[in-house]
Chains A and B, each alone.
Chain A
Amino acid sequence: MSESTIFKNLKNMPSTHLLGTGTPMCAGCGGLEALHEVYDILGEKTVFVNAAGCMTLLSVYPFTPFRGGWLYTAMASAPAGAQGVRDALDILKARGTISDDEDMQVVVLTGDGSAYGMGLSATSGAMERDLDFIYLCYDNEGYGNTGQQFSGATPHGAKTATSTGSHGYPGYKKPLFDIWAAHRPAYVATVIGAEPLDLARKIEKARTMKGPRMIIALSPCPTGWSYDPKETAHIGQLAVKSGVWPLKEFIDGKVVHTRVPSKRVPVEEYLKLQGRYKHLFEPQRNEKLIAEIQARVDAYWESVE
């Protein structure tokens, strides 16, 4: 499938953009970077069903950056909202009330707070019902809209507004990709705005498929991760090069890595740019914790290679 993609190389990337400017997302928002890349590929005939999160503020009356549809639901039930919209469109099409041209791609747009936690039951339900939809989680590894408290997506050791101690967040990032893949949906993929070609190929693939198509976009967050906003793409690229964020897809029952870093950059390179890991390096280096984070990344890649 990847052979037939229209995104053979970077020359195929769109250079004008569908998503409107003037939104209230933070300067340097990695989630918005991913969303505008995704929207260029999905196109105007898209209705976003949104769960409570940063991006709820994309559409604030009377302004919207979207050219198609948008529906805000609640934090827990965006996939159920997608179910209602999808089913209603199918009913209207079957009845001949609307033509196929009037149909829209239904896309859940949600942050990690909902995706990894409160919304997980509704997401599981939608996959179980084989709902024909795309699910896009912008994952900034914490409850960003409320000031970056830890969520089920927060990585081990990261400082958040509710894990301020010297060891950061004691838990581990929930393996949402695996939880989703265990449902055997049509498609699961990880992407990142900083790797736009990989993202474009996956979104293009998802766009042309049927059934639940589940996407997690790691979304570097200057506000929540505490770094200079200009580093958003750089940090995203390091997340991939260090192996912290494996780019992969689950399709036909198999997990395939779409980008295997030939020589992984030490995770330290990724961590040290972010204020949320500052306590690993200052006032003195926490060798143990840095080594543990490195070891977990190494163990992951050993398990898949």
Chain B
Amino acid sequence: MYRIRFHGRGGQGMKTASRILGSAFFLQGYEVQDAPRYGAERRGAPIFAFVRADKAPINERGIIVKPDLIIVADDTLVPVPAAGVMGGADEHTILLINSHTDVAEWQGRLNYPGPIVVLPAPEEVTDRAEMPFVGALCAGAAAALCHVINRDSLQQAIEQELGHLGSEILKKNRQRALHAFDLIRETRTEVVEGIVADATAWHAPEWIELPFDDARTAAPVIHAADNTDALKTGSWRTMRPVIDYQRCNKCWWVCSTFCPDGAIAVEEGTPVIDYDHCKGCLVCVAQCPPHAIEAVAEHTAAAEEKKS
């Protein structure tokens, strides 16, 4: 059985990617399961989706713990623990990253046990009315790595899944997906179907008797205050607001008040952005009267940060 996991951000089209790949497998005569995983995720927040495909009917369900292929639509997710991108990967698991950085760099950066394939990422769009939609692109790349899917099935699957969006969008996405398909086929990397669970040798679960805790402990009550700052929502960001303090006119309230997340505090008359929590909505960029805040692509900003 093929077990494939897509990681991306809310709005990037991971559900669609899983559906395109699922349909492509189905067109090739496979039994298929595809599903997104919803939670308390929001646009920009890490989400994932998965596909199972097999020649026999599929009884497994739910989250894929041990994937054969991991597709990362957004490379800024790789170091985010909450995204769990590399969870369950072993020597046979291919990691496909949609990235501006090359394979050698990723191999150096990650202690990753299996093969890494990089799909060159498109530039961030400046108008983000829609998140950069990379669903079709990722599905195309994934299909290429599963050698059992041919180009025609991929095309047909894209038509089935995206046809309702109109011919313009369909055309653009089909082009991107096929381009990715051809590019990745050239790498000659192939997904190897994982082994099924072995009922003759396994690790027994460490079951316990759940101890009784009285309601002071066991009620869903938080006695802490104001502790969400432990959640680094800065990882949602694809674009980063950067303040040019030369141009900042120290109005001290505009960016700070309009920031939905309260991630800009004014310290001694100077606004300071909390990048651990700034989600990159860029309301501050749009609202700053002297245009003292600039939007910079996160991967560029992060690279510059590293240099300095």
List the interface of chain A (C-beta within 8 A of B).
10-11, 13-30, 32-33, 36-37, 57-68, 70, 193-194, 196, 222-223, 226-234, 275
12 contacts between A and B (CB under 8 A): A16-B266, A24-B42, A26-B43, A63-B224, A64-B222, A64-B228, A193-B258, A196-B257, A226-B130, A228-B128, A231-B286, A275-B129
Using known A-B contacts A229-B282, A230-B285, determine if residue A23 contacts B228 with beta carbons closer than 8 Å. Answer: yes
What residues on A are CB-neighbors of B231 within 8 Å? 22-24, 63
Using known A-B contacts A13-B257, A17-B265, A65-B228, determine if residue A234 contacts B277 with beta carbons closer than 8 Å. Answer: no
Additional pairs, 19, CB under 8 Å, beyond known A15-B266, A21-B274, A27-B237:
A15-B252, A17-B265, A19-B262, A21-B228, A22-B230, A22-B276, A22-B277, A28-B279, A28-B283, A32-B261, A33-B283, A66-B225, A66-B226, A194-B258, A222-B281, A228-B127, A228-B128, A231-B286, A232-B283
List the interface of chain B (C-beta within 8 A of A).
10-11, 40-45, 127-130, 220, 222, 224-233, 236-237, 252-253, 256-263, 265-266, 274, 276-277, 279-283, 285-287, 295
What residues on B are CB-neighbors of A36 within 8 Å? 260-262
Partner of B260 from A29, A61, A228 at Cβ < 8 Å = A29
Using known A-B contacts A27-B236, A57-B40, A234-B287, determine if residue A15 contacts B226 with beta carbons closer than 8 Å. Answer: no
Partner of B287 from A18, A64, A223, A233 at Cβ < 8 Å = A233
Contact B265 A16 (CB under 8 A): yes
Assembled-state Cα–Cα distance A193/B283 (Å): 12
What 5 A-B pairs are tightest by C-beta distance, nearest first? Answer: A28-B281, A21-B277, A230-B282, A27-B279, A17-B262
> Nearest residue in B to A64 (C-beta to C-beta)?
B222
Assembled-state Cα–Cα distance A62/B228 (Å): 9
Contact B236 A64 (CB under 8 A): no
> Nearest residue in A to B238 (C-beta to C-beta)?
A27
Assembled-state Cα–Cα distance A33/B285 (Å): 15
Contact A27 B280 (CB under 8 A): yes
Contact A24 B260 (CB under 8 A): no
> Nearest residue in A to B11 (C-beta to C-beta)?
A223
Assembled-state Cα–Cα distance A54/B232 (Å): 19
Contact A27 B44 (CB under 8 A): yes
What residues on A are CB-neighbors of B259 within 8 Å? 33
What residues on A are CB-neighbors of B228 within 8 Å? 20-23, 58, 63-65
What residues on A are CB-neighbors of B226 within 8 Å? 18, 20, 64-67
Contact A64 B227 (CB under 8 A): yes
Assembled-state Cα–Cα distance A68/B43 (Å): 28
What residues on A are CB-neighbors of B45 within 8 Å? 24
Assembled-state Cα–Cα distance A226/B262 (Å): 22
> Nearest residue in A to B254 (C-beta to C-beta)?
A10
Within the complex, the shortest CB–CB distance from B164 to chain A, in Å, comes to 10
Assembled-state Cα–Cα distance A176/B172 (Å): 43
Task: Specify which of A21, A58, A64, A275 lies most central, judged by the most chain B CB atoms within 10 Å of its CB.
Answer: A21
What residues on A are CB-neighbors of B127 within 8 Å? 228
What residues on A are CB-neighbors of B282 within 8 Å? 28, 228-230
Within the complex, the shortest CB–CB distance from A159 to chain B, in Å, comes to 13
Using known A-B contacts A59-B222, A62-B222, A65-B226, determine if residue A21 contacts B44 with beta carbons closer than 8 Å. Answer: no
Contact A67 B266 (CB under 8 A): no
What residues on B are CB-neighbors of A59 within 8 Å? 222
Contact A193 B256 (CB under 8 A): no
Within the complex, the shortest CB–CB distance from A67 to chain B, in Å, comes to 5
Contact B227 A20 (CB under 8 A): yes
> Nearest residue in A to B261 (C-beta to C-beta)?
A21
What residues on B are CB-neighbors of A227 within 8 Å? 129
> Nearest residue in A to B259 (C-beta to C-beta)?
A33
Partner of A15 from B220, B227, B256, B261 at Cβ < 8 Å = B256
Contact B265 A15 (CB under 8 A): yes
